[in-house]
Amino acid sequence: MDGLALVILLIALVALALVGTVTGLVVTRRRKPAPLHDTWTDDLGLPPGGEPGTTDLLEPEVLEPEVVEPTAPALEKPEGTASRLVRLRQRLAGSQGGLGRGLLALLSRDRLDEDTWESIEDTLLTADVGVAPTQELVERLRTRLRVDGNEAGDPRTVLREELLTLVDPTMDRRLQVSGEDGKPGVVLVVGVNGAGKTTTVGKIARILVAEERSVVLGAADTFRAAAVEQLATWGERVGVEVVRGPEGTDPASVAFEAVKDGVDRGVDTVIVDTAGRLQNKQGLMDELGKVKRVIEKQAPVTEVLLVLDATTGQNGLIQARVFSEVVDVTGIVLTKLDGSAKGGIVVAVQRELGVPVKLVGLGEGADDLAPFDAGAFVDALLG
């Protein structure tokens, strides 16, 4: 009995020892390990042993925001008038020389019979010179080459002199871009859509900037958003302000604000691009008449330029008649003159309106617009 009691006591002691060991292990695992020497704790404070107000870590670098100044777009330097005239001769000689060469070939024949003179008339009419100017030129050539004979000179000299008379070098082709009494000159640009009107406004601005004149543009063709954006681009390229309004705005109000801005700023010239809708003569008359009236509350209109596509021939003359009845046209701009051998439109439109061709467009380039020079034009016709 004593032996059994001893065995039970030993088993109880072993069980107690095992329970104590397991309990110690559990407590040990739950106990948080002490921080290592000289390392940070999870607290955002000093490292162990650190002095107040000190830290062993580097302060994060604070970078100042970089200020980037906006850079204005580089302004283009428009070409001067002298080099434009040189290119005028070169371009016209390449595209218009066929007319002059054809006439010279006919006039240089040994015998100038009726068939030859009819061929000369056909050549001139094909080049859009017009019926009345063609008849006038043929009669003068007949007189000088058949009646005066050798005294008239060689055919080329005679043809040059008569063509020059027909183009009329005495016309005043200066652009009226200056105002009086301290007010800017106001240029109103009219014409049908598609003739190159808006582009012409931008190119005229380049000519004036090249002459160191200050310019404001008025985007009064408000019915075409593309025209307004196009004009704004032209202005940005040479540093010229463009006054514009929302699409569909009354064109007269935009024109008024453009001229008012020009007056307030004291600029030299304001150029106003107008709507080119040729819906009917009365509507056109009302619209352009209103634009001109409101402009002249600020400053007089000094120039009204009619833009015509030189390749349209008789259609261009019809447009010229309509616009001349609506507004007092003072000058003509012929665009796309380099595209065909129909340079006779210069003569025809001048005769039709009684006003001079002042500018001619010679291509798609930004500076392909030049003052019209009668002598250069005739020389180019003759090749």
* pLDDT value at residue 141: 92
Q: What is the pLDDT of residues 338-370, one digit of tens each?
A: 655 577 888 999 998 999 999 998 777 778 888
* Mean pLDDT, residues 330-339: 85
Q: What is the pLDDT of residues 269-313, one digit of tens each?
A: 999 999 877 656 777 778 888 999 999 999 999 999 999 988 887
* pLDDT value at residue 30: 44
This prediction's pTM:
0.76
Contact indicator for 96, 86 with CB cutoff of 8 Å: no
State how far the Cα of 16 lies from the Cα of 291, in Å rounded to an integer: 113
Tokens matching residue 351: 């005769």
* pLDDT value at residue 296: 93
Q: b/e map of 150-164 (b: 16 or more CB within 10 Å)? A: eebeebeebbbebbb
* Mean pLDDT, residues 247-256: 90
**Which residue matches tokens 């250069």?**
376
* pLDDT value at residue 56: 47
* pLDDT value at residue 73: 55
State how far the Cα of 17 lies from the Cα of 22, in Å rounded to an integer: 9
In the predicted structure, residue 46 carries a pLDDT above the cut 60: no
Contact indicator for 197, 223 with CB cutoff of 8 Å: no
Comparing CA positions, the residue from 308, 326, 290 lying closest to residue 193 is 308
Mean pLDDT of all residues in the chain? 79
Residue predicted with more confidence, 270 or 222: 270
